[in-house]
Structure 1
């Protein structure tokens, strides 16, 4: 299996199999992701043995709690775990000046995390919008996605401007409610 060309859907399928206690799927994930995780930990800690220990602990924890997680983006989850464990180690132990400088230079939110979060949020918003009544969806998309003003929308759809405003309010209320609920469940 070519490690560089593994996409999120393949990893997602392996995660599902791991939840079912499939040891081969776990070994495949481990083989694909261990090296990049180890390199990332080394770049923060600058201690190969400690980096190995932290990455091993993360994999052990992942296996032991495999049924308790609903992980959509495993790479993002594991790299966050590496970062937090490394930072916690640096915080709890004495470290040298170079390690301190590296810790400050490492970005808090990696590009992979931000990209996956943006994709997930966009998908959630599209799902919420698709559950709105058809007329509400059309008006909301014209207003918020196509940036058309309310008066123009009213003229195009041959309805009152007040109706446009009401439909946008309904859509925004629904989005706020659903996204607040998702945020509460997530955090």
Structure 2
């Protein structure tokens, strides 16, 4: 959807047009969810945060003066995700991954952060199947290494190695994306 259409929808939402809001939600919700998921590595939490942001947007629609809606929404996601991570126990690797996928607060309409979420999903999807499974169980489903090892009938060390491999791949690929898009 091009930026002029989005700008028109934003103006209509400001006037409490529910159809315009629903259209924006349909177009932007899934990429926002992917972005939140890439930071939090937790599907249900990402979904909750995205829904909270849309509710806030609707509630504040008349008071907001948003020039670039996508930038505003993605910055809101990033901030909420970081606040959640700050308030939770998380390890150094999770923090590194979260920092790797952050966006500059001055991101503009010409840069589409959807590409970043797509890149992360692509990297994970290109991992070997067993590695993908272990990584998703660990980082998306928040299952600890011992439980994964028991569930898959492998050693805990194998689980740790697979997760380390996945994180190295993510860091490597995201470093390329970071360079290409001049993050931070």
Question: Fold conserved (TM > 0.5)?
Answer: yes
Match of 1:87 among 73, 82, 90: 82
Return the structure number with greater helix share: 1
Q: Output the TM-score relative to the length of structure 1.
A: 0.56
Deviation at 1:70, TM superposition (A): 1.1
Q: Which has the higher contact order (CA 8 A, sep 6+)?
A: 2
> Could you say which residue in structure 1 is the equivalent of 2:102?
107
Matched pairs, number: 111
Question: Which segments of 5 or more consecutive residues in structure 1 lack a partner in the other structure?
Answer: 1-5, 119-187
Aligned residues: CA RMSD: 1.9
Q: Output the TM-score relative to the length of structure 2.
A: 0.56
The 3-state SS of whatever aligns with 1:62 is helix
Matches within 5 A, 1:93-172: 93-109=88-104, 113-116=106-109
Return the alpha-carbon distance in structure 1 between the equivalents of residues 110 and 60 of structure 2.
23
Find the structure with the greater CA-based Rg: 1
Contact kept, 8 Å, 2:13 with 2:21, in 1: the verdict is yes
Deviation at 1:117, TM superposition (A): 9.1
Question: Which segments of 5 or more consecutive residues in structure 2 lack a partner in the other structure?
Answer: 112-184
Structure 1 segments, 4+ long, off by >3 Å, are 113-118
Return the alpha-carbon distance in structure 1 between the equivalents of residues 22 and 110 of structure 2.
26
